Structure 1
Amino acid sequence: MLTSTIFVQPTSFLVPKPQIFPPKSTQFSLPTKICNPKMSNFGGFSVKAQLSGEIEPKTLIEYVGKGGIDVGDDLVVLIDHLQYACKKIAALIASPYNSSLGKFVEGSGNSSGSDRDAPKPLDIVSNEIILSSLQRSGKVAVVASEENDAPVCMTDDGPFVVVMDPLDGSRNIDASIPTGTIFGIYNRLKELDHLPHNEKASLNSLQSGTKLVAAGYVLYSSATIFCATFGSGVHSFTLDRSTGDFILTHPSIQIPPRGQIYSVNDARYFDWPEGLRQYIDTVRQGKGKYPKKYSARYICSLVADFHRTLLYGGVAMNPRDHLRLVYEANPLSFVAEQAGGKGSDGKSRILSIQPIKLHQRLPLFLGSPEDIDELESYKDIQQTVNPGYEV
């Protein structure tokens, strides 16, 4: 892994034409009123039914701004640039021209992982889109990305530090399976400003998950969903493709205390430790603390599996030390906790783990609090041997 800090320069990247969204400087025109049809309950949260009448729509930026929870002007600007980048990625993924970008390229990109984790062109393009947009915001001091070996320095006095996985699940692109962007936002540690760039950037990026200011994910699927927490609950916004705005559709999401679904790669059953095998055998027979048989639902896209778990309950997991603490586990665990759930490595609370290196890996278990508690009670649930996955 490289030890020097990367300084980002303006980049160019392939975006299919015609471009769906106008330049950043263009303001979208939002309808003053929309009709809100009756909507049903969705796994632990509900959208209030409106049988008649009209409501004012609330966009993501309106919600985080002074008309909503008011997270502060600096963070509003950052979120505005981040959402714009994610809309460009959504357009790129949905484009008929992305097939060549989804192909694996030998020897490309990140030296921090195995060939299995080596980035594809679409990963790199997504990374460049977000980096360029965050740089233009002027609000970010450092960005740590799964696609870069070292942190990217942007603006010395930027108030925030961003950690991200720009395109999780990109191996699924060719099959049109959901993918996503994961992000976490910290305050810049001003007490480190006197240190050399390399050291300052690294320490800012290795903050404990308990210090997260905001975190979330963007799901690129049948709908594009921007799901985020700013430390006061979890809220989901759906992209209205007619206006280009993310509209608040699922406020104050609460994960059910217990679900009936587990998400894991069952093909690795015989590599699992005894405790994990016992847990899975027990719950799928309906002999656990919840007297119903659990069903397996596994997409092999972390954002998609977690999004379903957040809505319906249960547990999404990877028992081997594969997922990255900084870019994936911390942000998603913060979202899970803000929705009333839990994030664990099988022994400890994820957010209590102090990162010691950027690409640090660990097992990850996310989900309903009662399901996580029951799973942890089996003790031996971390997979310590990874046949066929050696790095």
Structure 2
Amino acid sequence: MSKQALQTLGEFIIDKQDDFKYSTGELSRLISSIRIATKIVNREVNKAGIADIIGNVGNMNIQGEDQQKLDVLANDIFIAALSQREVVCGIASEESDDFIEVKCTENAHLSKYVVLIDPLDGSSNIDVNVSVGTIFSIYRRVSDPGSPVELRDFLQKGVNQVAAGYVVYGSSTMIVYTTGNGVNGFTLDPSIGTYYLSHENIKFPTMGKIYSINEGNYAKFPQGVKDYIKYCQEEEGDRPYTSRYIGSLVSDFHRNMLKGGIYIYPQTSHSPNGKLRLLYEANPMAFLAEQAGGKCSDGFKRIMEIEPTELHQRVPFFCGSAAMVTQAEEFMAKAVSKN
């Protein structure tokens, strides 16, 4: 198909605007702001090897993790892009201790939306040229427009999301998002800086043959996860499954959504509450998974039904092809019942 026949992301946003129940144009402008920021981040990621933006900055973020130079740069780029177009009243980032009230435009406080973002997921892999990504989640505020944004605007269940998505900066750069009407992916043509619709109405295969987990932590996993891994490795029927783990959530999720598989980041004896962040990683990925016909839970209950209690809350994460997640949950429940 010629480029002239392909639909751009901008055209797609306009065409689909009426499918969104709160359609006012504001959400469309918000997603356009994210689109612009991803192009700038993509440029920086692609020159990381020749610019002084590899390595850590000597600081730790609120999670106690070393901040990479690109973490800080990507964070600044997204905050700037979202703050200057009167489309959001507040931003919460994985890289910031607290949420940010947007005040830099006269009418920003009237905006109806807040954005939660992981600016550069998997950034520790950047210096070895492994794919990294951005994850974003969008909610309508629950406090009154015109008043200062509040913590409760961000501490909402995943079921309240109005849009979510991710960008994968890899062999090609893609933005994949949903507004609750299916999942669509757009690939960047770097020669002209335009995203084109390349993956329409993406669906998770109901069953897959890939399991993604850091097996180096096997000894620390709960018994149910250990039992499920053994099940995946058994030679029976269509098993053994294939183990594929990149260590970048966006990349592992993206592959599994296209090919079929399950991604697991469980609680461990060292991290009893899990490691992934509910608001910046688990909820947006759960929204995308469910919109694509997949399933996402903490091993026992639906991720998007969890009531957040803090901005940087962590959670165990089982996400992917629906039948595989159900299987893993059965192993978890069986192990608990034995104790």
Q: TM-score, normalised by structure 1?
A: 0.78
- Identify the residue that residue 260 of structure 2 maps to in structure 1: 313
* 1:84 matches 2:51: no
Deviation, structure 1 residue 189 = 1.9
Over 6 Å off, 4+ runs: none
Q: Tell me how far apart the structure 2 counterparts of residues 190 and 264 of structure 1 sit (CA, whole Å).
A: 39
Provide Cα deviations, 1:147-181, integer angstroms capped at 9, x if missing partner: 11111111211121100100000000000000000
Q: Which of 143, 151, 156 matches 1:202?
A: 151
- Identify the residue that residue 300 of structure 1 maps to in structure 2: 247
Deviation, structure 1 residue 270 = 1.6
- Identify the residue that residue 367 of structure 1 maps to in structure 2: 320
- Identify the residue that residue 350 of structure 1 maps to in structure 2: 303
* 1:126 matches 2:74: yes
Matching of residues 223-238 of structure 1 within 5 Å: 223-238=172-187
- Identify the residue that residue 252 of structure 1 maps to in structure 2: 201
Q: Tell me how far apart the structure 1 counterparts of residues 111 and 307 of structure 2 sit (CA, whole Å).
A: 24
Q: Tell me how far apart the structure 2 counterparts of residues 58 and 216 of structure 1 sit (CA, whole Å).
A: 19
Deviation, structure 1 residue 380 = 5.7
Q: Percent identity?
A: 38
- Identify the residue that residue 98 of structure 2 maps to in structure 1: 150
Contiguous gaps of at least 5 residues in structure 2: 103-107, 268-273
Does the CA contact (< 8 Å) of 1:324 and 1:359 recur in 2?
Answer: yes
* Structure with higher helix content: 2
- Identify the residue that residue 59 of structure 1 maps to in structure 2: 8
Asked which structure has the greater CA Rg, the reply is 1
* 1:139 matches 2:48: no
Q: Tell me how far apart the structure 1 counterparts of residues 2 and 67 of structure 2 sit (CA, whole Å).
A: 43
Q: Tell me how far apart the structure 2 counterparts of residues 286 and 263 of structure 1 sit (CA, whole Å).
A: 18
Does the CA contact (< 8 Å) of 1:344 and 1:366 recur in 2?
Answer: yes
Residues 290-299 or 125-134, more deviating: 290-299
Aligned partner letter, 2:74: S
RMSD across aligned positions (CA): 2.0
Query: Structure 1 residues 144 and 96, CA, compared in 2 at 3 Å: closer, same or farther?
Result: closer
Contiguous gaps of at least 5 residues in structure 1: 1-33, 37-54, 384-391
Corresponding residue SS for 1:252: coil
Q: Which of 204, 215, 220 matches 2:164?
A: 215
Deviation, structure 1 residue 276 = 1.1
- Identify the residue that residue 230 of structure 2 maps to in structure 1: 281
Does the CA contact (< 8 Å) of 2:278 and 2:312 recur in 1?
Answer: yes
- Identify the residue that residue 35 of structure 1 maps to in structure 2: 2
Deviation, structure 1 residue 362 = 1.0
Aligned partner letter, 2:69: P
- Identify the residue that residue 94 of structure 1 maps to in structure 2: 46
Matching of residues 38-49 of structure 1 within 5 Å: none
Q: Tell me how far apart the structure 1 counterparts of residues 16 and 224 of structure 2 sit (CA, whole Å).
A: 49
Provide Cα deviations, 1:64-88, integer angstroms capped at 9, x if missing partner: 1146765431111111111110010
Query: Structure 1 residues 67 and 252, CA, compared in 2 at 3 Å: closer, same or farther?
Result: closer
Does the CA contact (< 8 Å) of 2:89 and 2:110 recur in 1?
Answer: yes
Q: Tell me how far apart the structure 1 counterparts of residues 39 and 19 of structure 2 sit (CA, whole Å).
A: 23
- Identify the residue that residue 335 of structure 1 maps to in structure 2: 288
Aligned partner letter, 1:136: Q
